[in-house]
Structure 1
Amino acid sequence: MKKFALTAAALMVTTAAFAQSAAEKTGVNSLAGIPPKTEDFVTEAASSDMFEIESSKLAAERTDDATKAFARQMIQDHQKTTTELKQLVDSGKVKATVPTAMTSDHQEMLDELKGLEGEAFTEQYRSDQVDAHEDAVDLFQRYAKEGDNADLKAWAAKTVPALEHHLQMARDLENKQTQ
């Protein structure tokens, strides 16, 4: 009976952990204002950085001067946050694994961009930047407020202002396009 109870308890914990991850992935946690688990935060933050860097490398080659300048800034800033996140994990202060590939959602967005040229590319890149930064600001704010790792929580809080600035820059760039 004890073995059954332990197995049931382990299954419930595993299911709860999976449900939390699924809720983060689907945006349910964001809507409810629930902070992401540390592993989910690290995965989403790293994937977001990878998307920002790779999509901005494309933009630095394919678009107008204003968008290229924005893209270069995104590459520089997101390489910095990638390095900082890896240092937190490598130091042992954060118990998580930094992914080496983007989430499927970010990869799909990048693949779509790769297939575009000219104005269609520029419009999609600008729109993606607004969406990606809205998501990043939300993710970092939620973790900064109630995350469960003090070092990562402090880093998230320190990073929020830069992400908010990126979001405003992306919105300004997107509004230029529609004027």
Structure 2
Amino acid sequence: MKRLMSTVVLGCSMALFTGLADAANGMVRSDRNFMEQAAQNGHAEVEAAKLAQSKSGNEKVKSFAAQMEQDHTKTNDELAALASSKNVKLPTEPSVVQKSKAKAMGALDGAKFDRQYADTMGVKAHEDTLKMFQKAASGAKDPDVKAFAAKTVPALEQHLKMSRDLRASLGK
């Protein structure tokens, strides 16, 4: 009876563990989800920045977009290296939703495009991503994931400030 009870407890413990961590790499699901979402967000930023650089006629928008492409490419590379060290396979492109938003934005021209880019990929995307990184910086279980998130927060805060300034400069 004792042996049966031990087997049941062990089985339940294993089921609980696999519910919280990926058996292949020991990553807690929330940490892996953070890394996957961060990768998609980063790819969306880079693609939108490239679009803005080619489509916008506004030098402030082009300059902001160039900075976003440079910074998010660097962060994407750092995240990819971290993921590789943890045996986590990351998405290599934006999500379907992010792609559809970029396509809709790409249909706009002139000042409408500039404002949409500043609103969507500037302010809104950075508000959402900053919250996600702050949560991981304080709550990630993996110390390397936590450190990556914490290290990235100041740059995201700066990007949010820059995007708000850009949006304010574009008027209504």
Q: Shared fold (TM-score greater than 0.5)? A: yes
Contact (CA 8 Å) 2:42, 2:72: kept in 1 or not? Answer: yes
CA distance in 2, matches of 1:65, 1:101: 27
Which TM-score applies when normalising by structure 2? 0.81
CA distance in 2, matches of 1:97, 1:44: 12
CA distance in 2, matches of 1:154, 1:178: 38
Which TM-score applies when normalising by structure 1? 0.78
Gaps of 5+ in 1: 18-35
CA distance in 2, matches of 1:68, 1:104: 25
Contact (CA 8 Å) 1:52, 1:78: kept in 2 or not? Answer: yes
Q: Which residue type is aligned with residue 80 of structure 2?
A: K
SS of equivalent residue, structure 1 residue 101: coil
After superposition, where does 1:68-79 map in structure 2 within 5 Å?
Answer: 68-79=62-73
SS of equivalent residue, structure 1 residue 135: helix
SS of equivalent residue, structure 2 residue 89: coil
- Structure 1 runs of 4+ aligned residues shifted over 4 Å read none
CA distance in 2, matches of 1:54, 1:154: 26
Contact (CA 8 Å) 1:39, 1:97: kept in 2 or not? Answer: no
Partner of 1:88: 82
SS of equivalent residue, structure 1 residue 102: coil
Same amino acid, percent of matched pairs: 37
CA distance in 1, matches of 2:87, 2:30: 11
Total equivalences in the alignment: 156
Contact (CA 8 Å) 1:42, 1:97: kept in 2 or not? Answer: no
Gaps of 5+ in 2: 1-6, 22-28
Partner of 1:29: none
